[in-house]
Amino acid sequence: MNPEHIARSRSERLAIDRAARWPVGVFIGSSIFWLLAGSLLALVASIKLHDPEFIADNPWFTFGRARSAHLNAMAYGWLSSAGIGIGLWLLSRLCRVPIEDHRSLTLSAVFWNFGNLVGVWGIMRGDSTSIEWLEYPAYAAPFLLASFAFVTLAAFNLVRRRAPGHIYISQWYVMAGFIWLPMLYFTAHGLLVLAPVQAPAQPPINWWYAHNALGLWFTPIGLAAAYYLIPKIIGKPIHSYYLSAIGFWSLAFFYAWNGMHHLIGGPFPAFMVTASVVASVMMFIPVITVAINHHMTMKGHFRYLIHSPTLRFVVFGAMSYTLVSIQGSTMAIRVVNEITHFTHYTVGHAHLGVYGFASMVFFGAIYYIMPRLLATEWPSRWLIRLHFWPCAIGIAIYFIGLSVGGWLQGLALNRTDAPFMEIMEATIPYLKSRSIAGILMTIGHLAFGVSFIWMILRRRAATSETGPTLFSLPPQSADST
- Kindly identify the residues of this chain, within the stretch 371-410, that bind other proteins according to CB under 8 A: none
Tell me how far CA of residue 109 lies from CA of 75, 85, 159, in angstroms: 16, 10, 20
- Which of these, 257, 402, 253, 268, lies nearest to 327 by C-alpha position? 402
Q: Which is nearer to other proteins, 94 or 97 (CB)?
A: 94
Interaction between residue 343 and other proteins (CB under 8 A): yes
Task: Determine, following the binding rule CB under 8 A, whether residue 294 of this chain makes contact with other proteins.
Answer: no
The verdict on 307 binding other proteins (CB under 8 A) reads yes
User: Considering the complex, what minimum distance in angstroms separates the CB of residue 439 from other proteins?
Assistant: 19
80 sits near other proteins (criterion: CB under 8 A): no
User: Does residue 321 interact with other proteins by CB under 8 A?
Assistant: no
Closer to other proteins at the Cβ: 113 or 351? 351
Burial class (CB in 10 A: 0-12, 13-18, 19+), 256: middle
Please, which of residues 401-460 interact with other proteins by CB under 8 A?
Answer: 413-416, 420-421, 424-425, 427-428, 431
**Interface region with other proteins, contact rule CB under 8 A, candidates 77-85, 259-267, 435-443, 446-454:** 259-267
Residues 220-249 that bind other proteins (CB under 8 A): 228, 231-238, 240-242, 245, 249
Task: With contacts defined by CB under 8 A, name the span among 16-24, 31-39, 45-53, 355-363 that binds other proteins.
Answer: 45-53
Choice from 117, 179, 278, 393 touching other proteins (CB under 8 A): 179
Size of residue set near other proteins by CB under 8 A? 132
* Residues in contact with other proteins, shown as a per-residue x/- string from 123 to 162 under the rule CB under 8 A: ---xxxxxxx--------------------------x--x
Please name which of 328, 318, 344 lies closest in space to residue 400, comparing C-alpha atoms: 344
Residue 272: which residues within 8 A CB-CB, separation 6 or more? 204, 260
* Residue of 110, 146, 149, 275 interacting with other proteins (CB under 8 A): 275
**CA gap 415, 407 in Å, rounded:** 13
Q: Nearer Cβ to other proteins, position 100 or 443?
A: 100
Binders of other proteins among residues 203 to 222 (CB under 8 A) are: 203-208, 212, 216
Residue from 194, 197, 296, 453 binding other proteins (CB under 8 A): 197
Distance CA 418, CA 64 (A): 26
The answer to whether 266 contacts other proteins (rule: CB under 8 A) is: yes
Count CB-CB contacts under 10 A for residue 266. 11
Distance of alpha carbon 34 from the chain centroid: 13
Task: Find, among 372, 378, 475, the residue nearest to 89 by Cα.
Answer: 372
Q: Would you say 457 or 481 has its CB closer to other proteins? A: 481
Residue among 115 and 203 whose Cβ is closer to other proteins: 203
Could you tell me if 55 and 189 are in contact, meaning their C-beta atoms sit under 8 angstroms apart?
no
Q: CB-wise, 45 or 99, nearer to other proteins?
A: 45
| Residues 98/44, Cβ–Cβ less than 8 Å | no
Q: Is 467 in the site for other proteins (CB under 8 A)?
A: no
In degrees, to the nearest 5, what angle opens at C-alpha 96 toward C-alphas 93 and 97?
A: 100
User: What are the C-alpha distances in Å from 3 to residues 132, 297, 464?
Assistant: 56, 29, 20
Q: Which residue lies nearer to other proteins by CB, 420 or 457?
A: 420
Shortest Å, Cβ 379 to other proteins: 15
Piece of the chain touching other proteins by CB under 8 A; list 34-42, 172-180, 284-292, 388-396: 172-180
Considering beta carbons, is residue 22 or 304 the nearer one to other proteins?
A: 304
Nearer to other proteins, 7 or 453 (CB): 7
Which residues fall within 8 angstroms of residue 216, CB to CB, at 6 or more apart?
176, 177, 180, 181, 184, 251, 252, 255, 256
64 lies in the binding site for other proteins (CB under 8 A) = yes
Task: Label each residue of 72-134 as H, E or C.
Answer: HHHHHHHHHHHHHHHHHHHHHHHHCCCCCCHHHHHHHHHHHHHHHHHHHHHHHHHHCCCCCCC
